[in-house]
Amino acid sequence: MEVRQRLSRSMTRLRDAQRRRAEAGFALPAEVQVQAPAPVVIGTSNFERARVPHGVDLAAAWSWRALVIAAAGLAIGYAISRFSMIVLPVAIAVLISALAVPVVNSLHRAGLPRKLASLLVVIGGLAFVALLLTFVGQQVAQGANDLAQQVVDGLEQIRLWLRDGPLHASDSQINGYITQVQDLVTSGNKHVVTRITEVGTTLGHIVAGIFIVLFSTYFFLADGVRIWSWVVRLFPRAARARADSSGRVAWVSLTAFVRATVLVALTDALGVTLVALVLKVPFAPAIGVLVFLGAFIPLVGATLSGSVAVLVALVAHGPLVALLMLAGVVLVQQIEAHVLQPFMLGRFVRLHPLGVILAIGCGVLIAGIAGALVAVPLVAALNAVVLHLADTAAPAESAEPVRELSGGGAGPRRER
């Protein structure tokens, strides 16, 4: 401010001097005369945002959003793979709970406390699985000697075919092949200690996973209301009603999927067992139990377990009976794929076969066979939630309070 005042006084004195000189006839040249500065004009800024074509702007918007979604998916997949020993048993416990909830509800309505009913259901399910495995072990143990002798006879037939068949292999060549196979089998003895350590670690993980499944299943059945209420309260208040309704839809879809899968597995087991009994294949009941357990692995489980029946038929009765057994397994698989699954799953689980294949592939990459087991029902539940959120409008503030998805007992009161 002081500088400006000094400058103003200097300009005033200079103009006075110029006026006095002009009056006296001593005017300065025009280029020497000092002019007053022009006023500063304040206008709008001429800075504008960079203009790009609409297609480039749209592609950029989609690209960074896709990158964020992909990064989030990779982070979730990495977290699941790192904590697979916890995530997979909990997911399996959710599937078991979806199957066992009606039994717990029935016992609870009959007068038993819910915690006691849940404990009885868990113990009963564990005993049922143990009985199945014991039955299979007894069946195999009773016919192991006969089957071993049939395997020896089958190998002798293969040796005779190699010598007298189209290959015309000599005895020395056959013995050389047998020696190579023996060397291939026994060469792994150098790493016996490492393999035993790996097997011990795997067994430890399996035992820990079984305990996590049992405890998680019990608490899901006994305290499912409180657990789900806690999960819903993690969401913002405005989103809790939508989260609650989405959870109900996912639970209904998951329950329908698990029950239909059990019925399909039971049908597969009965069909393969019936074919094995007709053909007089050994271990027919044990094969049925194996098919029932394997049918829970989508797409490939029943086929792999059915191939065991074909191998047993080949060893016990030769190629013709094995072909008939294979035809029976294929027939059962076709009935399952074209009749049972569309009828039982089509109304509840709207999932494209390509989605099933991709889900299985992702599950195998993340956690092997266990991942394939839980991938399809979880993707089916997620698909049901996405369709539900896309088809429904935002709920009003007066939506229903959080209630129990698994039934049995009143849900917690709505938080105010």
DSSP 187-250: GGGGGHHHHHHHHHHHHHHHHHHHHHHHHHHHHHHHSHHHHHHHHHHTS-GGGHHHHHHHHHHH
pLDDT for residue 98: 87
Quote the pTM value. Answer: 0.63
d(C-alpha 34, C-alpha 31), whole Å? 8
pLDDT for residue 276: 87
Structure tokens at 85: 């020993």
Structure tokens at 150: 């049939």
pLDDT for residue 412: 42
Structure tokens at 34: 């000092």
d(C-alpha 105, C-alpha 89), whole Å? 23
pLDDT for residue 319: 79
On the CB side of 163, how many CA atoms lie within 13 Å of its CA? 12
pLDDT for residue 262: 84
Axis crossing angle, helix 84-109 with helix 192-222, rounded to the nearest 10: 40
pLDDT for residue 185: 47
pLDDT for residue 260: 80
Low-confidence ranges of the chain (pLDDT < 50): 28, 185, 188-190, 192-193, 394-416
Structure tokens at 302: 């029943």
pLDDT in tens, 89-114: 888 888 888 888 888 989 988 888 99
Largest interatomic CA distance in the chain? 143
The distance in angstroms from the start CA to the end CA of the chain is 61
pLDDT for residue 64: 92
